[in-house]
Amino acid sequence: MLRLFVGIELPEAVRQALAEVREAHPAARWHEPEHLHLTLSFIGPVEQEAARNIAQVLAGVPGPSFELAVQGVGYFGSPERPRIFWAGVAESPPLYRLQQRVEARLLPLGLRLDERPYTPHITLARVRQGLPLQALLQRHASLSLPAFTVDHICLFLSGGAEQGVRYEVLERFQLV
């Protein structure tokens, strides 16, 4: 089984700027800069044949390229038990339209996609109890990076490793 998701690769400059947010704290498992990305649609485990079908439908996702800027930080979970610390993005109607087009292409394949409302984010760390969340949020509340051009999407393979989660780009698809 292959554990897949569709996402946006971040330029090196953006990944390096986000790496500066990392702080040494035992209650956080920080993602390595090379694994930072923005998820459009989590697919989950699929067989090899399904992965080929997914790649075929993603090859024709319509939509022009657009600008996107990383802005602000937040978390998933409760203030008492945060699970994920993330960087957000500036309001972007083209991003939401792209995410909807991707899922519209995936749904006919019979995949069980996330039904929660889409919250664009870049996971920076997985959190264990004891992280000083409020201090972290305050320190990085004004995070704002220059916009970058989104001109392609990727099919990613997600795999666990002893040193942390690893992601590999299986295929890139130009926005057409």
Residue range 121-164, pLDDT digits in tens: 999 999 887 778 888 899 999 999 999 999 999 999 998 655 56
pLDDT of the residue at 28: 86
> At 134, phi and psi to the nearest 5?
-60, -40
Positions annotated as catalytic residues are 37, 121
Q: What percent of the chain has pLDDT over 70?
A: 97
What predicted TM-score, i.e. pTM, was given to this entire model?
Answer: 0.92
pLDDT at 120: 98
What per-residue confidence (pLDDT) applies to 135? 86
Per residue in 68-99, pLDDT (tens digit) is: 999 999 999 998 889 999 999 999 999 999 99
Residue 61's contacts (CB-CB under 8 Å, 6 or more residues apart) are: 98, 101, 102, 105, 153, 173, 175, 176
Instruction: Tell me what the mean pLDDT of segment 39-60 comes to.
Output: 96
Alpha helices in 7-79 (DSSP H): 12-19, 48-58
pLDDT score, position 31: 92
* 18 neighbors 33 (Cβ within 8 angstroms): yes
Question: What CATH number labels 2-174?
Answer: 3.90.1140.10
Reply yes or no on whether the pLDDT at 62 is more than 90: no
pLDDT of residue 136: 87
DSSP conformational letter for 117: P
21-35, 53-67, 119-133 — which one is most confidently predicted on average? 53-67
* Dihedral angle sign, alpha carbons of residues 61, 51, 152, 90: positive
What integer is the mean pLDDT of 47-62?
94
Q: How far apart are CA 136 and CA 86, in angstroms?
A: 11
